[in-house]
Amino acid sequence: MDYLIGLLNSTLQNEQVAEWAFVGLMGAAVFCVGLAGIFLISTIFNPVRDRLQTVVGTEQEAKAPKTGAMVLLVGKVAPFVLPKKASERGRTSERLMHAGFRGDNALATFYAIKTLLIVGLPASVLLIINWIPSITSMEAIQAGAFAVLAGVIIPNYVLSKLIKRRKRLLYNGFPDALDLLVVCTEAGFGLKPALQRVADEVSVGHPELAQEFALVNAEMRAGVERSEALHNLADRTGLEEIAGLVTLLSQSLRFGTSVAESLRIYSEEFRDKRMQKAEEEAGKISTKLIFPLVFCMFPAFFVVAIGPAVVGLLDHFKG
């Protein structure tokens, strides 16, 4: 104990701060040890698990997922790391769903990773700083605060990148899927067979979109209302284009209009929208090229074009 306090004191160069840091580290260590003990006891001496093993048998136990221990651990940690506000949990669950994480423990796992980074990064920074004697206590505190801030920001940043990547993949495959859906409905397919056929056809080039269409078809076959299954598709993807398609199909099913004709009109409108977006991006190119031209191209051009003349004038004036 005295060695650890001396180590912290040599790192932070402040006896009071070292004592508080030691108390915090000891509290975190006791909490982790207690949590691990509770997990081990609940896993080993679990009567429900024993009864399930007796009833189901060893064959079903062998088929059980290997992530069961991780799921149990996350379930134990969840009450300590999940936010108290239901609105915040709802927003985070929606973002995780848009990123493709739809598991029951996705929210708890996300906040567990976030908590681990918030605690682990400052501890790692303090251990590294111990090998750098030139750093003062104030700089060590600032580095620890920066590590805590990084632990808070990094998970949200990574999640945002995953959401953008998945939305981009879904958006790139949506035009092909929409055209195939129009062809299938005009060929006489119903909505469910058309969605299944589109999912089978685009599974190679766009597996994410194929999985979403297959899930919609599975929900319909399971007894979910078609409008509800389509709205679930819009909620899972988070794309405005798919939300517009869902609204169109829901209205067509509600009022009894032709699904094929509605899809044909929406496909033409979507194609026009994509063309307008491409023209808008093309119009921005000239503005975006100003800074590279001014700072990269023009200096080199002036050096090549005017440089020899400037050198000649300097030689002339020297002569």
What is the DSSP annotation of 145-172?
Answer: HHHHHHHHHHHHHHHHHHHHHHHHHHHH
Which helix (DSSP H) or strand (DSSP E) does residue 143 occupy? helix 137-186
Q: CA torsion 78→79→82→84, rounded to 10°?
A: 160
**Contact criterion met (CB below 8 Å) for 11 and 140:** yes
Tens of pLDDT along 204-239?
888 888 888 888 888 888 888 888 888 888 888 888
Q: How far apart are CA 171 and CA 239, in angstroms?
A: 8
Closest alpha carbon to 101 in 168, 158, 172: 158
Residue with tokens 């600032």: 142
Which letter does DSSP use for residue 257 in this model? -
**Contact criterion met (CB below 8 Å) for 73 and 38:** no
Tens of pLDDT along 107-149?
888 888 888 888 888 888 878 877 777 777 788 788 888 888 9
Q: Does the predicted model carry a pTM greater than 0.75? A: no
Averaging pLDDT over each range in 1-5, 40-44, 104-108, 203-207, which range is the top one? 203-207
Q: How far apart are CA 192 and CA 218, in angstroms?
A: 9
- Number of other CB atoms surrounding residue 244 within 10 Å: 15
C-alpha to C-alpha distances, 190 to 96, 214, 244, 250, nearest whole angstrom: 32, 15, 20, 14
Lowest pLDDT segment from 14-23, 110-119, 253-262, 272-281: 14-23
